[in-house]
Structure 1
């Protein structure tokens, strides 16, 4: 018996460093899954489409900032992510319905996405968005809130407009255009809605700020 205990202790000491490293790896699972997904989607886009990215020099070195793009397909989140550098993890706000599938919902959470309830103010999702930006992260938002027909732009939802205003962070406008076997992404220069900072913003001014966002996206759409 003493020999068994000595053997067990020796084995524990031998493998403890590896177990601790494994724990750290599990902590980094989200980054690992994001990296795998990034690589897989980028390879797919390059093989299946002519994938063009314009304006990559406008991508800031560090966060915090909010990426805002038009929304036309389910592939838009990976298209946005693949248009940025791999080291910039984009945390997307995604409709709650996508998380109902346990497996798909688990994967979405692991790659940094989080659910938002549509049709009403979701305080939990807003707090999560604030936390990401407070930690100098990158937040991904499709301000229209739902997919639109190609070439058409909807209105920006007030909730998506309020986040960069409240957090006083810049917005990186991006347009996505898909035609036949070609994907064109155009990235504009950072801009801020600083005229609305540090005050209560009435509904009509939120609408005005939303129009500014959509116009910035439209400018990129016209260039692509």
Structure 2
């Protein structure tokens, strides 16, 4: 049973009055087909916030440890989350992510892999570049511009899809592609801060 719509509605009711979202760039988000959505990571609430503000349901990788937490571990698979082993190349998670994109769904990633303690955009991990190069889907950068403070405006900006054709043709590495994605997120933040 998919609980994503219910979870999204509940999160919307809880978060919207507190963080007074300003959402920009929804028109850049492809209406159908696979999409790789890459966002910066400044809070534990980022997946919920991006889920509420994105125009389509999102599938997320979540650290494997969360799936062994009582109750939460049972709910996660029903809200479009699947486990990933951190700190190593998890082939099963990579396959699952590619499968989601191939099925025409949205895969949401936080390429930094962990929250930024300073709010500054950190270095992204190669996984984002891997999915971008291997999937042949549009890559949409997303900037979450805080701070997460009650009754302060929180901006979520969806950028134009990044053209991967040239990068694929030039056989760019996953690391190079991830750097390009992170730079696009930085540009969105600089433009909308």
TM-score (norm 2): 0.91
Paired with 1:73 and 1:147, the residues of 2 have a C-alpha distance of 6
Check whether the contact 1:169–1:192 (CA below 8 A) recurs between aligned residues. Answer: no
Alignment of 1:130-141 (within 5 A): 130-141=98-109
Tell whether 2:44 aligns with 1:61: no
> Secondary structure at the residue paired with 1:48?
helix
Q: How far apart are residue 159 of structure 1 and its match?
A: 1.9
Identify the match of residue 160 of structure 2 among 151, 176, 189.
189
Aligned counterpart in structure 1 of residue 117 of structure 2, from 126, 149, 163: 149
> How far apart in 1 are the matches of 2:32 and 2:157?
19
TM-score with structure 1 setting the length: 0.79
Q: What's the counterpart of residue 43 of structure 2?
A: 73
- In structure 2, how many angstroms separate the alpha carbons of the residues matched to 1:150 and 1:55? 25
The alignment status of 1:83 with 2:71, answered yes or no, reads no
Distance 1:55 1:200, change over 3 A: closer
Deviation, 1:35, is 0.9
For residue 50 of structure 1, report the CA deviation from its aligned partner.
1.5
Higher RCO, 1 or 2 (CA under 8 Å, sep at least 6)? 2
Asked whether the 8 Å contact 1:176–1:184 carries over to 2, the reply is yes
Deviation at 1:117, TM superposition (A): 0.7
d(CA) in 1 for partners of 2:168, 2:177:
11
RMSD: 1.6
Shift of 1:195: 2.9
Uncovered stretches (5+) of structure 1, i.e. residues with no partner = 1-28
C-alpha displacement at 1:207, in angstroms?
2.5
Dislocated runs of 4+, deviation >3 Å: 198-201
| Structure (1/2) with the larger helix percentage | 1
> Residue 128 in 1 paired to residue 96 in 2?
yes
Q: Return the alpha-carbon distance in structure 2 between the equivalents of residues 93 and 168 of structure 1.
A: 19
Which of the two has higher C-alpha Rg? 1
Q: For the residues of structure 1 that align with 2:70 and 2:33, how far apart are their CA atoms?
A: 31
In structure 2, the residue matched to 1:218 is 186
Mapped partners of 1:198, 1:113: distance in 2? 32
- What runs of 5+ residues in structure 2 fail to find an aligned partner? none
- How far apart are residue 66 of structure 1 and its match? 0.5
